[in-house]
Chain A
Amino acid sequence: MKLKPDTLAMILAGGRVDELNVLTYYRPKSAVPFGGFARVIDFPLSNLMQSGLELVAILSQYRSYSLINHIGIGEAWDMIGRYRGISILPPFKGSAGSRWYRGSADAVFQNLDFVRYHAPKNILVLSGDHVYHMDYQKILDYHQEKDADMTVAFLKVPMTEAHRFGVAEIDDEDGQGGRVLRYAEKPEHPEFSWASLTVFCFKSHILYDVLEINAREDDSYEFGRDILPRLIREGRRIYGFKFDGYWGYTRTVDEYWQTNMDLLGPEPKIRLDEWGIRTNIEHRNIRDCQPLRVGDNAVIQDSLVYNGCTVEGHVERSILFPGIYVRPGAVVKDSVLFFNNIVGRDARLNKVVSDVNTVFGDNVEVGFTDDGVEQRVTVVGWNNEIPDGTKIGSGATLYPHLAPESLLGTIKPNEVVR
């Protein structure tokens, strides 16, 4: 084991790409709360920490405040020290012109000075947006063993889903993976279905070269869409590494909700404790919360509840972040409530994802359906105050910080209130 690491990890946490609706109005997707106390980016960061990769850069462009706040000095993931650390790399102005990151590859390209300074042998590029547990050391070992120029992690998905991903055909060499034969980015008619997890391992000089060519010659700057196909065309040694664990892909609010529900049940698919998820409890001062208070007539079933909550009502199949107050008579089912929500007396919440600082008045009902219609996820943006007695239909969307007057009466199923 060497003191100075030979791998630099770079997390792509810049984009919003219109995903997750109102939950990403004020934060990048990687900073979206998850699991009752954490943020999505805690998954790759905890994976890195446990893989012993503690030299990390985060490429951040969209609404980075919440992310910067969350990362702090990196101590939560043990990433402080002589050769350990998390550097946040925002877009910058320079003497040779300045521009926003035009894509994931461009973000790394614009920071090649930083990368070269650390002189890594390998560069591991990750997405900050996915919920999974992976020992990156295994893919690095495989990359090394195959003397690959680039190694990409892939997960088998149903063919019907393959059009949503970058998919590859892999020549199975050894059960672990093999050469990538063909690759297609979000193909309309997919022919193969190993989906890229956005876990890329590069030999550093290969990455430097391809990024420079990409910047010079192309007009799109994405790792999946541009860099990987270019390296295949160049005939480089591209390997696929097969992953068969849980992978939470949360592009839509429905998927985000489902991934949350995978934390629950007798055998949760996401094992926060076994995965060793670490988060920064200084963020939002959740370290200052007292233990959960459970009232006389409370019922809590199949749920995760963090410190700082008070439950006097009924909570079922739900996830409560710190600072939630569920008043007597209220019923919260199949819901995910971010920090500091208040659920009023006798209110009913059914399949709701509610962002921070929202107050549901007494007798509010969220998630009602018309007869015979399947229940959909209702999403409530942050800082809303929903007046007593308001009824909100299933699948509705409430934008952040609406005037309470606009939320009086009944909001129909699937309605969008701006």
Chain B
Amino acid sequence: MSKQSSPLVLLLAGGVGSRLNILVQTRAKPAVPFAGLYRIIDFSLSNVMNSGMNHVGVMTQYQPLSLMRHIGTGEAWDFTGRSRGVKILPPSTGFKDSDWYKGTADALRQNMSFIKTHPSEEVLVLSGDHVYHMDLDDMIHCHRGNKADVTIGMMVVPKSEIHNFGAGITDSEGRIIEWEEKPKVPRTDLASMGIYVFKTEYLLALLEENRGDTDFGMHIIPKAVARDNVFAYPFRGYWRDVGTIQSYWEANMDLLQKDPILLPETWGIRSNPYADGRPADRIPARFARGSKVTCSMISAGCIIEGEVVNSVLSPGVVVKKGALVINSVLFDDSVIEERARVDLAILDKRAIVGAGSVIGNGENKNIPNKRHPGHLYTGITLIGKEAIVPDRTVIGRNCIVSPRCRKDNFPEPCVSDGETV
């Protein structure tokens, strides 16, 4: 893609993503670690890089610090240089338009001057919280070929899931003729991926029209579908919205299939290993004699003395002698002490599971978490950042141990299914 014709990319990274529960207590959803070495936003940023686009604005609002640190100068994704750049666009006060972002479209509206100062034929709007691999350049070509005002990236999904998405009904040429946002009764299997290409002039005019139109899916897209040239860009590759604990965990497990369908290295996904304030050059993972690891992903800096099955380990995780980790996702520098067992859990950074403790006890996965039944209902237990689970503590299914919990927070050595500490 030549530099002149490169579209301006706007990445929506400001949402709370509250369904990820304690994983987003101190960070924005796009900054949640994923697949050992990455953060969720790396997929969008790398797709942009690999598609040859040069200018990116990242709209932040909720807990932007770890995200800003991660993006840094944008060097990790080749966005530094005279004709390239990545800019963080937080909400700001001014003569007008001073307010928090009230929605996806509102975030763009408040940055219309940014769009105008980066003249381009198209604006590509992406979401920072999806795990996918896509040639965005091809989507731009289709948009141009169709002479479309708007092109929407649409994934073919089972009809039973369409109620979670914006759904588009197309004619034989791929033109979207009807739009339904999160329909209760499915009429199509084309789900919006939250990826939009707009003709820049068209977008600016539409945003000017009605300040009450704050959301793309709810307001802008239905309006455009009703009167203008909106096309679907059908996509059949890997794409996952990892906005829930369940889908986040499943996407991690996608890495571990025998013939994996999620291939970050093959897709050219890059991360920024320097962002964490720790040396990026962790030493190779060490496997002690007597350790046992199968069907897992293990990052540099891990020390494995115990057993790890079907799990994803970020850098620096320690699994001590006699410990077992199964079906779990462990973030950086978490420690599983001797003889502890971790089954179906997500551990945030630097969490410690004391010797002989059990995370995910028992076989009853059907008692949802009492405080957040909509977040934890399949048996997954969450252990928060820097939480310390004391020795010989037994924690059940669908439990939450809040970040930085200490010994005093555990009055009983036993936490039943669905409880929160």
Q: Are A291 and B313 in contact (CB under 8 A)?
A: yes
Across the interface, name the chain A residue whose C-beta is closest to B256: A293
Using a CB-CB cutoff of 8 Å, which residues 272-305 of chain A contact chain B?
Answer: 272-273, 276-281, 287-305
Q: How far is the CB of B400 from chain A (nearest CB, A)?
A: 26
Selected from A36, A289, A294, A296, the residue in CB contact (under 8 A) with B265 is A289
Q: Are B37 and A305 in contact (CB under 8 A)?
A: no
Q: Mark B258-297, 1 if CB is under 8 A from A, else 0.
A: 1010011100111101000001110111111111111111
Q: Are B298 and A302 in contact (CB under 8 A)?
A: no
Q: Are B291 and A300 in contact (CB under 8 A)?
A: yes
Q: Are B294 and A305 in contact (CB under 8 A)?
A: no
Complex Cα–Cα for A168 and B31 (A): 58
Selected from B36, B270, B285, the residue in CB contact (under 8 A) with A305 is B285
Q: Is B299 an interface residue (CB 8 A)?
A: yes
Across the interface, name the chain A residue whose C-beta is closest to B295: A296
Q: A306-B285, A307-B299 are in contact. Are A296 and B258 (CB under 8 A)?
A: yes
Chain B residues, CB < 8 A from A303: 286-287
Chain B residues, CB < 8 A from A13: none
Q: Is A153 an interface residue (CB 8 A)?
A: no
Complex Cα–Cα for A38 and B314 (A): 20
Q: Mark A70-96, 1 if CB is under 8 A from B, else 0.
A: 000000100000000000000000000
Chain B residues, CB < 8 A from A313: none
Chain B residues, CB < 8 A from A37: 281, 283-284, 300
Q: A290-B35, A290-B37 are in contact. Are A266 and B265 (CB under 8 A)?
A: no
Q: Is B45 an interface residue (CB 8 A)?
A: no
Q: A281-B280, A287-B280 are in contact. Are A301 and B291 (CB under 8 A)?
A: yes
Across the interface, name the chain B residue whose C-beta is closest to A265: B289
Q: Is B312 an interface residue (CB 8 A)?
A: yes
Interface residues on B, range: 35 or more
Q: How far is the CB of B386 from chain A (nearest CB, A)?
A: 21
Using a CB-CB cutoff of 8 Å, which residues 51-69 of chain A contact chain B?
Answer: none
Q: Are A291 and B281 in contact (CB under 8 A)?
A: no
Q: Are B284 and A36 in contact (CB under 8 A)?
A: yes
Across the interface, name the chain A residue whose C-beta is closest to B296: A294
Q: Is A35 an interface residue (CB 8 A)?
A: yes
Q: How far is the CB of A201 from chain B (nearest CB, A)?
A: 28
Q: Count the A-B residue pairs with Cβ separation under 8 angstroms: how many?
A: 107
Q: Is A105 an interface residue (CB 8 A)?
A: no
Q: Are B284 and A319 in contact (CB under 8 A)?
A: yes
Q: Is A320 an interface residue (CB 8 A)?
A: yes
Across the interface, name the chain A residue whose C-beta is closest to B287: A300
Complex Cα–Cα for A280 and B274 (A): 12
Q: Are A320 and B258 in contact (CB under 8 A)?
A: no
Across the interface, name the chain B residue whose C-beta is closest to A321: B284
Q: How far is the CB of A246 from chain B (nearest CB, A)?
A: 16
Complex Cα–Cα for A292 and B298 (A): 5
Selected from A279, A301, A315, the residue in CB contact (under 8 A) with B281 is A279
Q: Are A302 and B288 in contact (CB under 8 A)?
A: yes
Complex Cα–Cα for A287 and B279 (A): 12
Q: Is A178 an interface residue (CB 8 A)?
A: no
Q: How far is the CB of B291 from chain A (nearest CB, A)?
A: 7
Q: Is A308 an interface residue (CB 8 A)?
A: yes
Complex Cα–Cα for A25 and B363 (A): 59
Chain B residues, CB < 8 A from A307: 37, 299-300
Complex Cα–Cα for A319 and B258 (A): 24
Selected from B281, B287, B297, the residue in CB contact (under 8 A) with A293 is B297
Q: Mark A30-56, 1 if CB is under 8 A from B, else 0.
A: 000001111000000000000000000
Q: Are B289 and A292 in contact (CB under 8 A)?
A: no
Selected from B35, B279, B293, B300, the residue in CB contact (under 8 A) with A294 is B293
Q: B residues touching A (Cβ–Cβ < 8 Å)?
A: 35-37, 255, 258, 260, 263-265, 268-271, 273, 279-281, 283-300, 308, 312-314
Enumerate 26 A-B pairs (CB-CB under 8 Å) in ascending A order. A36-B283, A38-B281, A76-B281, A273-B283, A276-B279, A281-B280, A281-B281, A287-B270, A290-B35, A290-B36, A290-B265, A291-B35, A291-B37, A292-B285, A293-B297, A294-B298, A295-B294, A299-B292, A301-B291, A303-B287, A304-B283, A304-B285, A305-B285, A306-B300, A307-B37, A308-B265
